[in-house]
Amino acid sequence: MSASAKSAMPTNADTPLPAVAATSTAALSPALLANMDAYWRAANYLSVGQIYLFDNPLLRRPLAIGDVKRMLLGHWGTTPGQNFIYVHLNRIIKQYELDMIYICGPGHGGPAVVANTYLEGTYSEVYPHISQDIAGLQKLFLQFSFPVGIPSHASPECPGSIHEGGELGYSLSHAFGAVFDNPDLIVACVIGDGEAETGPLATAWHSNKFLDPATDGAVLPILHLNGYKIANPALLARISHEELEQLFRGYGWTPIFVEGDDPALMHEAMAAALDKAIAQIKSDQQDARLHGKRTRPRWPMIVLRSPKGWTGPKFVDGKQIEGSFRAHQVPIKDLRAHPEHLALLETWLKSYRAEELFDADGKLRAELAALAPLGQRRMGANLHANGGALLVDLQMPDFRDYAVDVPKPGVRGIGDTRVLGKFLRDVTSLNESQRNFRMFGPDETLSNGLEAMFEVTQRQWDAKTLPNDEFLAATGRVMEMLSEHQCEGWLEGYLLTGRHGVFNCYEAFVHIVDSMFNQHAKWLDVARKIPWRRPIASLNYLLASHVWRQDHNGFTHQDPGFIDVVVNKKAQVVRVYLPPDANCLLSVMDHCLRSRNYVNVVIAGKHPAPQWLSMAAAAVHCAAGIGIWHWAGNEKQGHAAAGNAADSEPDLVMACCGDVPTLETLAAVSILRAHMPELKVRVVNVVDMMKLQPPTEHPHGLTDTAFDEIFTKDKPVIFAFHGYPRLIHQLAYSRSNHNNIHVHGYKEEGTITTPFDMTVLNELDRFHLVLNAIDRLPNMAEKGEALKRMLEEKLLEHKRYIVKFGEDMPEIRSWKWGESNAPAADGGAPFVPA
């Protein structure tokens, strides 16, 4: 369908449109049309007021330069179009009793969402000082983009927002995340035509193939085709109408065009388009819900082609503003230097005829206020946009029931994520009736070892299926699309509307969403300080298939740097866990799924690997986040042998963080203990990286005293770390023993090679750890030199062996803690711990 509502003014359309008589739809009575136009004018007035006015909010006296803010900030261009959309959505919410929220894709349209949530009354309810009178208006205007006021975007401070839209591209993925498992919700998602050029947005149109019309809600995309970005035309505005229509049809949507610039005609056209869209959504849903129709609907979407900066100044200083990129930010500037600009601003403000819109006290007139929906139907008050208010705790199985039996340290496991998979499977089934838990991932649930999920659920998929497909169904708890952006955006939308989930991803490729993580962490940081925003479930990353075990993939798949990105964010928001074995992984994930308002990063392995702790010990260790593994060290025996059991200082601390570093550390310790039994070695394992920071930097941080008790004040610490070594130094730089901490980690050496050789290439392997320890220990003399020569020979032997046989040496593959297979020097007794 297409409705053309053009005046003589040229718009950005380059192709004549088939004219549909807008008035033929008669969706609006003349009185309603007039009131809706007045409401739109009120929203536009409040938007311009926010950008410009310091005082004199209703222009009850002539505008003076002192009434204008000194710094003029904000974005006008997108705002009138969004105000137009909002007033029309209010009408259909009332008419069809819709449960609807609004996503402001071009989030720089903050003045629009603030203006509308103020007009509908929500704003004053959450911020009573911004009252519905002249004093409130003045504060509303002043706070916008003003020190200690509110940001210019659709930020967490704005009621009704789940999407700040500062970084463009994620609106549609957030919208879909919000409607999964919310069958009665419709998300009206405004997408900027510039935003639509971003990669994440371009692929988000495909989200319609993952929506179940029976059990999920609907998204109504509204492409805001105002023709321009900041300084350029928008691509979608410069392709032919036919091409644009075909593009969206190709994506599986039914585009409804509303095009023009004459307000009266456009009101009619927009109302008709929305009526049509809602009718189609309802009928598609009924077909699926009542008639069991299983074909994918071609959901409606709206293309709103209107001038950028609509109703604003047409020309300033001889340059076109309305309908051009110059409308993007503040259209009339330098008012203090150019008095004629003050007059232009006054004329612009007066064009909205505020005296017709607000009563003597400055309150929106009752007949206009009546256009807004009531109570929680108002988009600013809809609880879906304050998801924590709807959050229902997950039904959690007891993670201890999934414990791996670890009668002694070093027993071989099946792959830590495979154990976790069974726990997540049962989280899924226990919450099946609540429908508030989903797992997201780009095609990797199976390859990350979480195959147990498919014992109880499927991948949700509403495109074609073939008999040979596996685990695809119209409804399911697993969401897989090969776009990390979609997985992240869907999950964020799901969490922000009060549900729970996990994003499982290859460690290297989670970097694709570094920036989305940044934005979500910023949202959480701001939201947790806003009293009316209720805490939401944490965003849980499960990074399996990590840097150390990319056996078939090699260098491109080896990158542990996501942690570095994460730790830059506010300590109150981020948590990073590296459980060394399956029981620890279970304990950590149980904690993460119960937590609120965090981003939790959990890094775990999927390959068979040694298990260290019984479930009881794992729970204690993970609760502490860091601990001395007395069973692995020998400081107690060493001291006793030296006749000084009271002295608790070891000679050497071998620390580890991550599953592979833990394995290599324990293998290194077994070498040291076999060859230097008199050496007092302490083994420290770190699960919670934030323990390394001081408590002033992170709430989990160890005090200096506690840190010194674990790492000593002056003994060498050989620290085997999963990620880039610099990070440990960054976290521990202020500790008294920092100069003695020698970190081994990923040094960007990678290729397709054996698992052990990956550690050798990066000097994280047992031999290099021991070599470094010897160099750091005083008085090693001849014994140390002999061991070093032997280990250097071992490294050469390792290279010769893998090049010849293409796998690790048997003594590496079969190495087990506590067995007498530490390499024995001539005459050296092999180590067999008790």
Ligand X SMILES: Cc1ncc(C[n+]2csc(CCOP(=O)(O)OP(=O)(O)O)c2C)c(N)n1
Q: Which residues bind ligand X (CB under 6 A)?
A: 77-78, 106, 108, 167-169, 192-195, 198, 224, 226, 228-230, 234, 308, 328
- Measure CA of the first residue to CA of the last residue in the chain; give whole Å: 79
Give whichever of 193 and 765 is closer to Mg ion, judged by the CB atom.
193
Cβ contacts of 116 within 8 Å, gap of 6 or more: 43, 83, 86, 87, 379, 380
Give whichever of 224 and 305 is closer to ligand X, judged by the CB atom.
224
Q: Which of residues 204-243 bind Mg ion (CB under 5 A)?
A: 226, 234
Give whichever of 163 and 378 is closer to Mg ion, judged by the CB atom.
163
Q: Provide, rounded to whole angstroms, the least separation between the CB of residue 91 and Mg ion.
A: 24
Q: Which residues pair with 603 in a beta bridge?
A: 543
Does 80 engage in binding with Mg ion (CB under 5 A)? Answer: no
- DSSP 8-class letter at 56: -
Give whichever of 331 and 833 is closer to ligand X, judged by the CB atom.
331
SS3 for 610? strand
Give whichever of 163 and 224 is closer to ligand X, judged by the CB atom.
224
Q: Provide, rounded to whole angstroms, the least separation between the CB of residue 103 and ligand X.
A: 13
Q: Provide, rounded to whole angstroms, the least separation between the CB of residue 153 and Mg ion.
A: 15
In 695-710, which positions are buried (b, 16+ CB within 10 angstroms) versus exposed (e)? beebebbbeeeebeeb
Give whichever of 170 and 402 is closer to ligand X, judged by the CB atom.
170
Helix (H) or strand (E) holding 95: helix 79-96
Q: Which of residues 353-382 bind Mg ion (CB under 5 A)?
A: none
Question: Around Cβ 464, how many Cβ atoms within 10 Å?
Answer: 10
Give whichever of 180 and 325 is closer to Mg ion, judged by the CB atom.
325
| Token pair belonging to 601 | 């990063």
DSSP string for residues in 437-464: EEEEESS-TTTTT-GGGGGT--EE--S-
SS3 for 827? coil
167 binds, among ligand X, Mg ion, none (CB under 5 to 8 A by kind): ligand X
Q: How many angstroms separate the CA atoms of 480 and 461, rounded?
A: 9
163 binds, among Mg ion, ligand X, none (CB under 5 to 8 A by kind): none
Q: Provide, rounded to whole angstroms, the least separation between the CB of residue 59 and ligand X.
A: 26
Give whichever of 47 and 431 is closer to ligand X, judged by the CB atom.
47
Which long-range contacts (C-beta less than 8 Å, at least 24 apart) are formed by 690-699? 690/567, 690/571, 690/574, 690/575, 690/576, 690/625, 690/731, 691/625, 691/626, 692/626, 692/728, 692/731, 692/732, 693/571, 693/731, 693/732, 694/734, 694/735, 697/571, 698/571, 699/571, 699/572
Q: Provide, rounded to whole angstroms, the least separation between the CB of residue 16 and ligand X.
A: 23
Does 610 engage in binding with Mg ion (CB under 5 A)? Answer: no
Q: Provide, rounded to whole angstroms, the least separation between the CB of residue 301 and ligand X.
A: 16
168 binds, among Mg ion, ligand X, none (CB under 5 to 8 A by kind): ligand X
Q: Provide, rounded to whole angstroms, the least separation between the CB of residue 492 and Mg ion.
A: 23
443 binds, among Mg ion, ligand X, none (CB under 5 to 8 A by kind): none
In the complex, residue closest to ligand X by CB? 192
675 binds, among Mg ion, ligand X, none (CB under 5 to 8 A by kind): none
706 binds, among ligand X, Mg ion, none (CB under 5 to 8 A by kind): none
794 binds, among ligand X, Mg ion, none (CB under 5 to 8 A by kind): none
Alpha carbons within 13 A on the beta-carbon side of 592? 30
Q: Which residues pair with 3 in a beta bridge?
A: 258
Give whichever of 234 and 537 is closer to ligand X, judged by the CB atom.
234
Give whichever of 193 and 635 is closer to Mg ion, judged by the CB atom.
193
Q: How many angstroms separate the CA atoms of 743 and 729, rounded?
A: 8
Q: How many angstroms separate the CA atoms of 435 and 318, rounded?
A: 58
Q: How many angstroms separate the CA atoms of 84 and 467, rounded?
A: 48
SS3 for 651? coil
Q: Provide, rounded to whole angstroms, the least separation between the CB of residue 194 and ligand X.
A: 3
Give whichever of 255 and 723 is closer to Mg ion, judged by the CB atom.
255
Does 111 engage in binding with Mg ion (CB under 5 A)? Answer: no
Q: Provide, rounded to whole angstroms, the least separation between the CB of residue 11 and ligand X.
A: 14
Strands 411-412 and 610-611: antiparallel
Q: Provide, rounded to whole angstroms, the least separation between the CB of residue 168 and ligand X.
A: 4
627 binds, among Mg ion, ligand X, none (CB under 5 to 8 A by kind): none
91 binds, among Mg ion, ligand X, none (CB under 5 to 8 A by kind): none
Torsions phi, psi for 587 (to 5 deg): -65, -45
Give whichever of 565 and 791 is closer to ligand X, judged by the CB atom.
565
Rounded to 5 degrees, what angle do the CA atoms 234, 235, 239 make? Answer: 125
Measured in whole angstroms, the distance separating CA 631 from the mean position of its chain's CA atoms is 40
195 binds, among ligand X, Mg ion, none (CB under 5 to 8 A by kind): ligand X
Does 322 engage in binding with Mg ion (CB under 5 A)? Answer: no
Q: How many angstroms separate the CA atoms of 171 and 551, rounded?
A: 37
83 binds, among Mg ion, ligand X, none (CB under 5 to 8 A by kind): none
Alpha carbons within 13 A on the beta-carbon side of 456? 19
Q: Provide, rounded to whole angstroms, the least separation between the CB of residue 658 and Mg ion.
A: 45
230 binds, among Mg ion, ligand X, none (CB under 5 to 8 A by kind): ligand X
Q: Provide, rounded to whole angstroms, the least separation between the CB of residue 6 and ligand X.
A: 19
Give whichever of 107 and 192 is closer to Mg ion, judged by the CB atom.
192
Q: Provide, rounded to whole angstroms, the least separation between the CB of residue 78 and ligand X.
A: 3
Q: How many angstroms separate the CA atoms of 311 and 323, rounded?
A: 9
Q: Which of residues 187-206 bind Mg ion (CB under 5 A)?
A: 192-194
Q: How many residues bind Mg ion (CB under 5 A)?
A: 5
SS3 for 186? strand
**Which of 304, 271, 277 has its CA nearest to residue 25?**
271
829 binds, among ligand X, Mg ion, none (CB under 5 to 8 A by kind): none
Q: Which residues pair with 741 in a beta bridge?
A: 717
Contact residues for Mg ion (CB under 5 A)? 192-194, 226, 234
